[in-house]
Structure 1
Amino acid sequence: MLPRTRRAWLHAIISLLLVLGGISMASVTALARHYDRLELARVAAIASLIFVALIVIFVLPPLFRSARVEIATLDLPFSISAGGWLFIAILIVVAFAAGNTGNNLLFLIFSVFVSALFIAWAAGRIALRDLQVQARFPDHIFAGESAPVLVAVNNAKQIWPSISILVEARIIVSSERAKVEKRTLAHFTYIPARARVEQRVEQNFAKRGRLIVTGFDLSTRFPFGFFRLRRRLRTREVEIIVYPKPEPLGDELHLLPIAVGQTQAMRRGAGHDLYSLRDYQPHDNLRHIDWKATARARRLIVREFTAEEERRVHIVFDIASCAEECHPLRFERAVGLAASLIAHFIEERMEVRLTLGEESGGYGSGPDHLYACLRRLAVVELPTGGRRSLEAIAFDEEYAILLTFAPHGTIPARIWRQSHVIHV
């Protein structure tokens, strides 16, 4: 049995015993008074008060917290503020006093209070009616960085404006078992009738991953702040990918593109070294004609050149080596390091290839390839299976950088010869 479950059972048993003890002492007090056992009744009454105090201290707070959680999960279309609860308490006191005394002034005050509640409810519902929301997120969002989001609200009402409207996005976090959370986007103080109002806000996403916007929640505390009324708007689902943020590399990794990964391609290209001589063809550039060879052969001969040196690096992220005991923070640090390596080598104008476990991509360079690799890293998840052997990793002929969770001394010699190993 887990410790948390054991504590829950222990708390439930203690709460039950306290409630049974209080009921028993109250019953003993009633029976003692019925049979004129005043001393026993006094002792039982004191004991029952002690049980009541213990129940108030140990039983009621957890029940209150559980009730708040249950109410929050219901996602009711309204909630009562602290000022609203105070107003309702005063309303109940005034109603009780008016009923007991029959004072007309108290009845008048009670009717004014009830009218204020009705006006607050009606004005809030009118403010939320006929509103449409649009949100435009940037194409590329990095974790931990501010992203500009354009939020627009269109008020389709013909006469009434909308005042104090809070816009929240309902977002499904796919990496947390479809957990739904609300994110505050913008607060609009005043939206005129038949008008569209926009706000540019900065949003910060702390974690990488795939987020799905399923709709928006509009809420207002207008006019008195007694209630927060809500209205849910459903829209088509919008996927947001939050990239891991690349960080600057250390000095030892900064020298890698100079020391390794550079090979001269023995193929035709647009370089400067001579590759071969051949007969002229109609699509050839006239500047490549070798006139000396043409004079000797008495036909047009052109020069072919080798391609410029290729600078390629293959980044292998060995996610399968992360066993069940691998801490999530360690895994996130490895994802960030892989993103930093990709961004660094692409900035050095190298061709980069990313392999995630058994999923391998192709070589590429430039911003588009960078964002494609970061997108793959953004959705990679901590493996649930056991650690796998490194022998299954396939390396090509190019230089590779291996990010692995495997312990030191377990890397095969073949991999040491073909790659630069980084233990995370």
Structure 2
Amino acid sequence: MINKKKFFPAFLIRILIKDFNISYLFPYFEGETISILKIKPNKRGIQTLKEIYIASVFPFNFFIRWKKINKIFSFTVFPEPKKCDFLFYQDRKNKGELETNRSGWEGDLLSVRDYIEGTPVKYIHWKATAKTDKLKVKELSELKSQPVIIDFEKISLPEKELKLSCITYLILEMMKRGVPVGLKIKDKFYKPSLSYNHKITLLTELALYE
């Protein structure tokens, strides 16, 4: 908000966003002021702000002056992320594209097994070795940075909005962990990537899904 009157401060300036029934009051400011308004849309997809007004009740509520902002603002609302644990564990039983529990060298500890010739010394489990008098090594999960491809049609959830929310959560969580994520949805295929633009592209695709 900018007050162009250099020698006269602004009083009781209110911003009204009728599209979302939001109101915010600037009691007093000189020159320029900034505030952040939180908007909570009730559905995903492309949303617009059409009814934005600036109003003032100064002086002393005797009258109200108002002006409509003659501009339409558009933005995309992504699906609400919802954690669905089954997406991570379902693949332990089925050979799907979300598999992350294979043995490897750099991930979480899966089990302890007998030493196999050629296993690096750093993976020897010394505590287990001392208890059993046999050389034991750590069996770790495979690197979680292996690319993941999510096939929308193969996610077994009957309710569309829940499926979109679960996949949104999965994309955000995987990319946060450094896992490249790809997506198959309808007739489109997005190769796994970790870039910010790629993440926005995937979330936008989910937001606009019909």
Q: How far apart are residue 337 of structure 1 and its match?
A: 1.7
Contact 2:17/2:52 (8 A) holds in 1: yes
Tell me the equivalent position of 1:239: 74
Correspondence list, 1:4-403, <5 A? 153-169=1-17, 181-184=19-22, 186-192=24-30, 195-214=31-50, 216-225=52-61, 227-235=63-71, 237-250=72-85, 252-255=86-89, 260=95, 261=97, 311-318=146-153, 330-381=159-210
Q: How far apart are residue 241 of structure 1 and its match?
A: 2.0
Task: Please tell me the residue identity of whatever aligns with 1:191.
Answer: F
Contact 2:145/2:178 (8 A) holds in 1: no
Q: How well do the aligned residues superpose, as a CA RMSD in angstroms? A: 3.6
Q: How far apart are residue 313 of structure 1 and its match?
A: 3.3
SS at match of 2:191: coil
Task: Please tell me the residue identity of whatever aligns with 1:364.
Answer: S
Which fold has the larger relative contact order, with Cα–Cα distance below 8 Å and residues 6 or more apart in sequence? 2
Contact 2:20/2:41 (8 A) holds in 1: no
Q: How far apart are residue 154 of structure 1 and its match?
A: 0.9
Cα distance between partner residues in 1 of 2:166 and 2:160: 10
Q: How far apart are residue 367 of structure 1 and its match?
A: 4.4
Cα distance between partner residues in 1 of 2:38 and 2:144: 43
Say if 1:347 and 1:197 are closer, same or farther in 2 by CA, change over 3 A. Answer: closer
Say if 1:183 and 1:355 are closer, same or farther in 2 by CA, change over 3 A. Answer: farther
Q: How far apart are residue 335 of structure 1 and its match?
A: 1.4
Task: Please tell me the residue identity of whatever aligns with 1:242.
Answer: V
Contact 2:144/2:179 (8 A) holds in 1: no
Say if 1:372 and 1:209 are closer, same or farther in 2 by CA, change over 3 A. Answer: same
Q: How far apart are residue 231 of structure 1 and its match?
A: 0.7
Q: How far apart are residue 156 of structure 1 and its match?
A: 1.4
Task: Please tell me the residue identity of whatever aligns with 1:317.
Answer: F
Say if 1:347 and 1:160 are closer, same or farther in 2 by CA, change over 3 A. Answer: closer
Which segments of 5 or more consecutive residues in structure 1 lack a partner in the other structure?
1-152, 171-180, 264-307, 319-325, 382-424
Say if 1:242 and 1:374 are closer, same or farther in 2 by CA, change over 3 A. Answer: same
Cα distance between partner residues in 1 of 2:58 and 2:67: 14
Tell me the equivalent position of 1:281: none
Contact 2:83/2:166 (8 A) holds in 1: no
Q: How far apart are residue 201 of structure 1 and its match?
A: 4.2
Cα distance between partner residues in 1 of 2:144 and 2:5: 66
SS at match of 2:66: strand
Task: Please tell me the residue identity of whatever aligns with 1:220.
Answer: S
Cα distance between partner residues in 1 of 2:144 and 2:170: 21
Task: Please tell me the residue identity of whatever aligns with 2:80.
Answer: K
Between the two proteins, the alignment pairs up a number of residues equal to 163
Contact 1:168/1:182 (8 A) holds in 2: no
Cα distance between partner residues in 2 of 1:182 and 1:253: 34
Contact 2:80/2:165 (8 A) holds in 1: yes
Say if 1:375 and 1:185 are closer, same or farther in 2 by CA, change over 3 A. Answer: farther
Cα distance between partner residues in 2 of 1:375 and 1:358: 16
Tell me the equivalent position of 2:130: none
Q: How far apart are residue 198 of structure 1 and its match?
A: 2.2
Say if 1:165 and 1:309 are closer, same or farther in 2 by CA, change over 3 A. Answer: closer
Contact 2:12/2:26 (8 A) holds in 1: yes
SS at match of 1:197: coil
Tell me the equivalent position of 1:300: none
Q: How far apart are residue 353 of structure 1 and its match?
A: 1.9
Structure holding more helix per residue: 1
Q: How far apart are residue 214 of structure 1 and its match?
A: 5.0
Q: How far apart are residue 218 of structure 1 and its match?
A: 0.5
Task: Please tell me the residue identity of whatever aligns with 2:27.
Answer: T
Superposition TM-score, scaled by structure 2 size: 0.59
Cα distance between partner residues in 2 of 1:374 and 1:356: 12
Contact 1:316/1:357 (8 A) holds in 2: no
Identity over aligned pairs, percent: 20
